[in-house]
Amino acid sequence: MTPEYRVGHGLDSHRLVPGRPLLIGGVTVPGSPRGPEAHSDGDVLLHAVADALLSCFALGDIGKIFPPSDPAHAGLDSRVIVAAVLQRVRARAPGAVLVNVAAVVTLDAPKLGPLRENVAQSVAGLLGLAPEDVGLTFKTSEGLAPDHVQASVTLLAIVV
């Protein structure tokens, strides 16, 4: 049987505020004086991954599954969000296999380059992929959005 190819895309941003840890793909960025203002832990990369997975199978978005208005989700670990989304994907498409993830993270400071392997490993581990299947592009906003962290994620799945 010819496999069905499906693409998903997710985008997430948060404002950076003092006194919050900065998490990217489940990895804490050391030495960051600021982190995301968010109801959950504000991990932009995992939020974009979760939305990309949902978008891939037309399952809605994480705002629908984890409404920010629900106090039970305060401080939520975004790895839990990704795990819950994966469960929904498996229920919808039991034959789905993820192929690769391509992510762009935009952050002016600190530089994320030194964390590339850690972040790829962390995201790959959550998704059952190999680290070389997680492409990470780190960009700055060129000073246009210094108080902002953003992630955009595209992923490919096949359904056999």
Pick one of 6, 8, 10, 12: the residue that binds Zn ion (CB under 5 A): 12
Under 8 Å between Cβ of 119 and 24: yes
Stretch that binds Zn ion, among 10-18, 25-33, 84-92, 135-143 (CB under 5 A): 10-18
Whichever of 41 and 133 has its CB closer to Zn ion, that residue is 41
Contact segment (CB under 5 A) with Zn ion among 39-47, 81-89, 113-121, 132-140 equals: 39-47
Position 41 contacts Zn ion (CB under 5 A): no
Q: Closest approach of Cβ 56 to Zn ion, in Å?
A: 18
Distance set, CA 110 to CA 31, 113, 123, 147 (Å): 8, 9, 20, 12
38 vs 157, beta carbon nearer Zn ion = 38
Other beta carbons within 10 angstroms of residue 105's beta carbon come to 21
Q: Which is nearer to Zn ion, 15 or 92 (CB)?
A: 15
Q: Is residue 34 at the binding interface for Zn ion, with CB under 5 A as the rule?
A: no
Between helix 44-56 and helix 116-127 the angle, nearest 10°, is: 40
Choose the stretch contacting Zn ion; rule: CB under 5 A; options: 4-12, 105-113, 118-126, 141-149: 4-12
Position closest to Zn ion via CB: 47
Question: Mind spelling out the 3-state secondary structure of 21-68?
Answer: CCEECCEECCCCCEEECCCCCCCHHHHHHHHHHHHHCCCCCHHHHCCC
> In angstroms, how far is CA 148 from the centroid of its own chain?
15
* 47 near Zn ion, rule: CB under 5 A: yes
Contact (CB, 8 A) for 53 and 46: no
Residues in contact with Zn ion by CB under 5 A are 12, 47
